[in-house]
Structure 1
Amino acid sequence: MGEPALKIQLKTLPNAPGVYQYFDEEGTLIYVGKAKNLKKRVSSYFTKTHDSGKTRVLVKKIASVKHIVVETETDALLLENNLIKKNKPRYNVLLKDDKSYPWICLKKERFPRVFSTRRVFKDGSEYFGPYTSMKTVSTLLDLIKGLYQLRTCNYDLSPEKVASGKYKVCLEYHLGNCKGACEGLQTAQAYEENIIAIREILKGNFKDSLSQFKQQMKQFAEEMQFEEAQKIKEKIEVLENYQAKSTIVNPKISNVDVFSIVSDESFGYVNFLQISYGSIIRSHTLEIKKKLEETDLQLLELAITEIRQRFNSNSKEIYVPFKVNVGENLKITVPQLGDKKHILDLSIRNAKYFRMERFKQVKITDPDRHVKRIMAQMKADLRLGEEPRHIECFDNSNIQGTHPVAACVVFKNGKPSKKDYRHFNIKTVEGPDDFASMEEVVYRRYKRLVEENQPLPQLIIIDGGKGQLSSALKSLDALELRGKIAIIGIAKRLEELFYPEDPIPLYLDKKSETLKIIQHLRNEAHRFGIEHHRNRRSKTALNTELESIPGVGDKTIVELLKKFKSVKRIANAKLDELEAVVGVSRAEKIYNFYHTK
């Protein structure tokens, strides 16, 4: 379909909520989006100048537009989500998660069984879940089995079959795990009371069960049945212990979903907590791959719709870090303090931990993706024009004004490239002048790289504040490299980054990966420079000691060090060993110098 036809389509779009679909020339669906006003939203793609290169590419590929009008924004959100999952368009975010989740089933039958399953049948049974981990399911089932005696057999326990004596109690009865409903030793009413209590526990409400057990314990104690009372007491302790572990806030907070998001350049991580009676009964984090530099708001709205569908949530209220639009009949709360804020902070912490774990896994399984993410993050954090794949950091080592040296360390793809490290002995500067030393070293380094046609770094880091940065800039100006290489200075406190011609420093988050890499660079430059400085001072000190011996000159010292390798060995050498190298006269002077000392 040609451009005129596309323009006609854009002009005839309705001013109503709905979902729009973009197709390329081959008729392939490449993007699905939702809109409060279809005409305004779709037209904006073709009238705005987009910052994102990916969005510009998308717009170029659009050959035709289709739309579906719906009644409300909520309907649009749900439809958008379903179309994305069904068609997986190239330019939509990926919602990866196709595994089946476990449920807990209360089977619809006389004397209902309680068990875990990954398959849901529409047979009238009750299903609780889905749960995000089998460990949670196992813990709940162990708790229930410890509190209530339930059957595990799959017999048809109809009144007729039980009355006929068709079944016999099994080992579970003799172990005390079942009350023998198959032989009519437990009534359906008594069993149903247990199921009612179990249903409440699965909803997160422990209050009724605790109250019931305490009443039973008191009754047994009054009747002098202390063994039975002790058993009930143990069940109360189990239930209270589980409740203590799972209750995190005010028990009045119930039937609430909590959502939070953390993101980087490539992915968003949305955490979901479901709260019932003050307890977390479900936790899940969804990883979303960005396609068009989507905002946190866009990702969170999409994820909320997807997660609530996936986990069959019917909560009437959600807690979120900022306002979202995900449904008319849903109360949106942005907590500012108190218990609600505590829950939201917990959700954010879960999202951050998940992100860190994913980083560790990706670092091992997909190092290329890890490097790309780190580089993209550094580019954004440091406001660079390109990814800093090659970084060089300079540091002066000038202790007590002696032996001024400098170090240049090189990082490639975020890691040290030690074969490219370089030492510099300051040649043109007399005395301790850090600014002049930095100017000399930067000039020498890049003059050589240019002359040898070596690749230049994308970023230079100067260990020092504005003064050191200005000195380095003079050298770049002299070499006509100003503007060709990004350069920043780091203050001693490390959180402050200085940019040329910008009086206000940039502050990075102390926990950011970008700052960690810069810190690593600075520490490496400092270590490498100090090491070289120490070697120079040590060498000078050794030579000075030998030079202080009367009658011993530079040539003699060189001969001695070639033979003995160190001053210590010279000092410990025998007279005849020294004579073999420097002759009798000088050997006696050296031998007497050390042995008289």
Structure 2
Amino acid sequence: MATEHIERKLKLLPDLPGCYLMKDVNGHIIYVGKAKNLKNRVRSYFKSKQVGKRAQLVSEIRDFETIVTSTDKEAFLLEITLIQKHQPYYNTKLKRGTGYPYIKITNERDPQLKLVSKIKKDGGYYFGPYPNVYAAQETLQLLQKVYPLRRCNGPQKRPCLYYHMGQCLGACFKEVPKEKYDAQIEKIKSFLNGNVAPIKNELKRKMEEASSKMEFERAAEYRDQIRYIAMTVEKQKIISNDYTTRDIFAYYMDKGWISIQVFCIRQARLMKRVKRLFPCIDEPEAEFTSFILQYYNQKNVVKPHEVLVPQNIDYQILSDILGIPVRTPQRGQKRDLLKMAQKNSRLVLKEKFRLLELDNRKTTGAMNEIMDALKLPHGHRIEAFDHSHIQGQDLVSAMVCFIDGQPNKNEYRKYKLKTVDHADEAASTQEVIYRRYSRLLKEHAQLPDLILMDGAEIQIDAAVDVLHNQLGIDIPVAGMVKNNHHKTADLMNQDGVKLELDPKSQGFYLLQRIQDEVHRFAITYHRQLHSKNSLASRLEQIPGVGPKTRTKLLRNFHSIKKITEASVEEIQKLGISKKVAQTIHLSAGSIEEGRQDTRLIRKN
């Protein structure tokens, strides 16, 4: 079952190829996939019944993001890169490496050409990965014939079979000059980087020659070799043609917002994608340039050998400041990569706008529903209050703040009541309302557009009395009324009239969220305070421990368990005598054992 957040994002998926990254409740990437059509593929996870491991995966998905590519093949290669980078739990098939081979030139005195499954930091040259394993094998064999290096195991005092076949330079029986290897390696690197024309032309000539001699099987072999070259060495946007480290920056600006994408090319592949969205205050070009400079000012960001930017950016200034080449590509693969980054930046911003539109209906729109029901002007800020106690002990109040329908936890406040010593809703409300809004008046701070009390007439009347008669301010007050099942039921206005909101409306949903949140916040604070007070009273039962000593112990150790674990010397360091410290050390252990016994009794 898709969450509301996912349902909204599914509506915004593009009909384009690319990769999708599934995330769990903690934001960790748990699966990476590719698709010819992102919209159809991602929707299929949530719009049809799943079984087995796929069903388990879907049950853990709480969010996803996408990266658009130009072709399905690019999506395939990007998928491999993302799996290697993030090691998602559910990508068992490609988890340990790509599952597809690389062609490697080894880093040794007599180098070899090999087919390997993963990249290691061993100084070798790696090319790939190659989706078609058989094509990679055939291409390797072709290279060993055309540009031989070493195919034997090394010195053995006589030429190996491959030397006689022209596929080994002879390291088996003689010392091959390093210059000879270097020349061959340069040709192999050139070939694997896409310069295949000389070999392809030679193969075509041999194919035509064999065909003219009626040697059709040999002609077919040459034809297959040409096809394998196309499968393994053809140019890709995701896998670069060289190993230059480069970052590609692109942006898209609309409706006062700027979307920036950074493609980080490492080891000839797209290893990282950074995306940022923020309001654009200055001109977009200035904001974009400033972002690039700030990006490289971070401690954990290493500058590449080259940076690519769009055409309307002053790349010369950037280059002078950063001390690395900054260019605008005009043609070829680099320009295509830049276009792909620009396409992604545009799609991310479009998705942002559509999500904002949907969010506004559910937040600002919901708040407007509440204000309309109360016949009040539309506002932005709601503050809600609730009280909590246990049989009249440890009385507390709590306030939560919602701005445009969203909780703002920085504005939450907790109150330990000072003038009330028993359960009294009216007195508790009067104290907390006076303390909150007398302070806001002194600080000339922003007042709310609406105050909500987690109760009915008693709390509403008490709040209005303080606001009007003691503080002289007029802030609308309403009550959140619960039913017999302690669930949000109605909204009560200042005159005590219940205003029935549609239980299926966004306004009712917001009212329910506010009531649940302020209740949660008040209960949490009360439990913390009650636990602390209980601990304080137990400590004062220890002979020699008075209020000052108790305060020292609580401030430094916070719990009986930590006091028990502390040595007598550590307790003495707080300015407590040795005799009292020994008594505390022994008595705290008894108190802790008593707490554990109590927990055991409750459990049983």
Give the TM-score of the pair, scaled to structure 1.
0.37
**Structure with bigger gyration radius:** 1
